[in-house]
Every structure is written in C-alpha cells, then in structure tokens.
C-alpha cells in the first residue's frame, strides 16, 4: 500500500498526511475547503522546518516529504487510486457516515477505509459501507508526527488480514500500534476523558482553582501537562463530544459531562483554538507556548 488518501486537512489530518509522506508514501490530502488545504500544507511545511532546525531531518527530506503530498477538494478524484483512506474529519457521527458512504462508492474495491475517530463506533461507521470487513480505526495521537501511539480499533466485522496489514503499516510509520476492541472511547479516551471530566468537576465544586488543580497533577502525578490545560489543548468541544458518545454508549452516569464543561462549550470557550478556555490564550504567544510543550 503506497497511495494514501487523508480526508480532512485540520490538525489531525495534516499531521497524518505529514507522517505518511515523511515515510515515503504518496499522499492525497483532501478537504472541501481550498483555504483549509493551504493552511494544512503551511502547517506541514512549518513543522518540517522545525525538524530541520533541530537536525532531525535534512532539507532534502523536507523537500521529498512535501513532494509526496498532493491536494484535492474533490473526494472522488482524490481517492480513485487509494490503497488506504484515513478519514480525519470532525468528530460527528452523521458526517462520518456520509463520508464513508461516499468513500465506499468512490474507492477501489480493495481499498481499506480507516477512521481516526477517537470515540465513535467503528462497527457503526462500517455499516454505512458494503465492505465492513475492510473498515478499521486508526486513532493517532496529537501531535501526530511526534506521538508514537496508534490505537488500532477492530470493528465487529473487521478482518484479521486488514488488522494485520494496518498494524504492520503503523510500524513502518515508526509508531507503536496497539490493538483494542470497539467500545465507546476505546482505551485512551475511556480512561483519559473521565479524568479530565473529574478535574472539571473538582473546579466546578470549588475544591481548588485551575492552576492549583493542574499543579497537583503535574507535580504530584508526574503529568507533563495539567488536565485542565490538556482539555484546552484538545478542545473543550471535542472533550464534550467524546463524553457524550461514552455516556450514550454505556448509559453510565460516571461519563456524564460536567455542567461547567457544557456551559463553557455553549459560550464558545473552547480552549486554545477559540482563544479562551480554562486559560486565556488571547495573545498568540500564549497559545504558542502551550503548543510548544508538545514539540
């Protein structure tokens, strides 16, 4: 599998495209927005420049990586020769079902269809296609070029051959693939999101302030970033969406989102991307300092 199509040029999509291209794969980066594609490619170029400056890659490596990526605004055109498609669109079930139905119709018969969803059922997504045995989850971590883990999620009908193929491909990317089964939140978010939610509950109940909660977890639990700051970095809307998926999936009140989180999202305070969350990122320098902790 050498031709990889990536759906979505946002934070996860451009990171996935970057990672495949840097490892010699031909990548078709697809987004309905030409502006998003330009921003995505600019981000990839900037991140490669940073790697050159740190002497992790050469200028020639950067040039080769960028030359491996082509951009498309038309899904049908972008996926027509794909061996693997990795969908990295917004974490919205209806949107993903629509995309996978379209991919099923446009992709070659043997193409594997993967989703970067962090919580939505692979089995449910696969049911929108005529090839459920070829649908699988590839949950990359952010920032994709740096983080080693890829959660490989098998749907109910995902074949052993497809699972083995994607595990091997992930290793070729320099990642550590970990196979998990298809339950809400999988492993990473099933453990992470309740912790973030409980941190928000702790703030909501007045036990301690934002900085104090994050300090306890950083210094007491050796976390590189406090949970409230991490929630800001992930996006509070994304955290809310994942918690809702888990709550609906398990019907267990321990996954119910904290009212404070719900209200903050309603108010448009989404974290780094909106300029304000639990912390103030109104100055671009502040947001950059947070992002740099992951580089």
Give per-residue pLDDT as tens, 106-118. 999 999 999 999 9
The segments of the chain whose pLDDT lies below 70 read 283-295
Is 13 labelled as part of a ligand binding site?
Answer: yes
Is 38 labelled as part of a ligand binding site?
Answer: no
Pairing status of strand 149-154 against strand 135-140: antiparallel
- Which pLDDT does position 294 carry in this prediction? 45
- Residue 158 gets the label, from left (phi > 0), alpha (psi -120 to 50) or beta, of beta
Is 218 labelled as part of a ligand binding site?
Answer: no
Is 31 labelled as part of a ligand binding site?
Answer: yes
Packed helices 259-266 and 236-250: angle between N→C axes, nearest 10 degrees:
130
Is 142 labelled as part of a ligand binding site?
Answer: yes
- Which pLDDT does position 282 carry in this prediction? 86
Per-residue H/E/C for the chain: CCEEEEECCCHHHHHHHHHHHHCCCEEEEECCCHHHHHHHHHHHHHHHHHHHHCCCCCHHHHHHHHHCEEEECCHHHHHCCCCEEEECCCCCHHHHHHHHHHHHHHCCCCCEEEECCCCCCHHHHHCCCCCHHHEEEEEECCCCCCCCEEEEEECCCCCHHHHHHHHHHHHHCCCEEEEEECCCCCCHHHHHHHHHHHHHHHHHCCCCCHHHHHHHHHHHHCCCCCHHHHHHHHCHHHHHHHHHHHHHHHCCHHHCCCHHHHHHHHCCCCEHHHCECCCECCCHHHHHHHHHCCC
Is 282 labelled as part of a ligand binding site?
Answer: no
- Residue 231's Cβ-count burial label (10 Å; 0-12, 13-18, 19+) is buried
- The CA-based angle 22-28-30, given to 5 degrees, is 120
- Which pLDDT does position 287 carry in this prediction? 47
- Which pLDDT does position 286 carry in this prediction? 52
Catalytic residue annotation: 118, 139, 151, 189
Cis peptide before 288 (omega within 30 of 0): no
Is 199 labelled as part of a ligand binding site?
Answer: no
Model-level pTM greater than 0.75?
yes
What's the maximum distance between 2 C-alpha atoms anywhere in the chain? 56
Is 205 labelled as part of a ligand binding site?
Answer: no
Q: Phi and psi (nearest 5°) for 30?
A: -120, 130
- Which pLDDT does position 261 carry in this prediction? 98
């Amino acid at each position: 599998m050498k031709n990889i199509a990536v759906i979505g040029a946002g934070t996860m999509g451009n990171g996935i495209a970057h990672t495949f291209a840097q490892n010699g794969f031909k990548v078709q980066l697809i987004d309905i927005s030409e502006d998003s594609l330009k921003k995505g490619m600019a981000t990839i170029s900037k991140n490669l420049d940073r790697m050159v400056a740190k002497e992790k890659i050469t200028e020639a490596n950067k040039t080769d990586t960028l030359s491996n990526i082509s951009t498309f605004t038309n899904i049908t055109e972008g996926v027509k020769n794909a061996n693997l498609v990795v969908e990295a669109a917004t974490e919205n079930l209806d949107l993903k079902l629509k995309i996978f139905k379209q991919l099923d119709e446009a992709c070659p018969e043997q193409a594997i269809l993967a989703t970067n969803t962090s919580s939505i059922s692979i089995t449910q997504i696969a049911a929108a296609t005529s090839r459920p045995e070829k649908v699988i989850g590839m949950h990359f971590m952010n920032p994709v070029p740096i983080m080693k883990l890829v959660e490989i999620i098998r749907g109910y009908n995902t074949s052993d051959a497809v699972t083995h193929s994607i595990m091997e491909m992930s290793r070729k990317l320099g990642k550590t693939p970990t196979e998990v089964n298809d339950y809400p939140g999988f492993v990473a978010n099933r453990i992470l999101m309740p912790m973030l939610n409980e941190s928000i509950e702790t703030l909501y109940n007045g036990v301690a302030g934002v900085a104090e909660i994050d300090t306890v977890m950083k210094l007491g639990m050796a976390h590189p970033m406090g949970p409230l700051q991490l929630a800001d970095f992930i996006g509070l809307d994304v955290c809310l969406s994942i918690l809702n998926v888990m709550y609906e999936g398990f019907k267990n009140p321990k996954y119910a989102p904290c009212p404070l989180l719900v209200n903050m999202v309603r108010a448009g305070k989404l974290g780094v991307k909106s300029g304000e969350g639990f912390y103030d990122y109104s100055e671009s320098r502040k947001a950059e300092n947070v992002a740099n902790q992951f580089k």
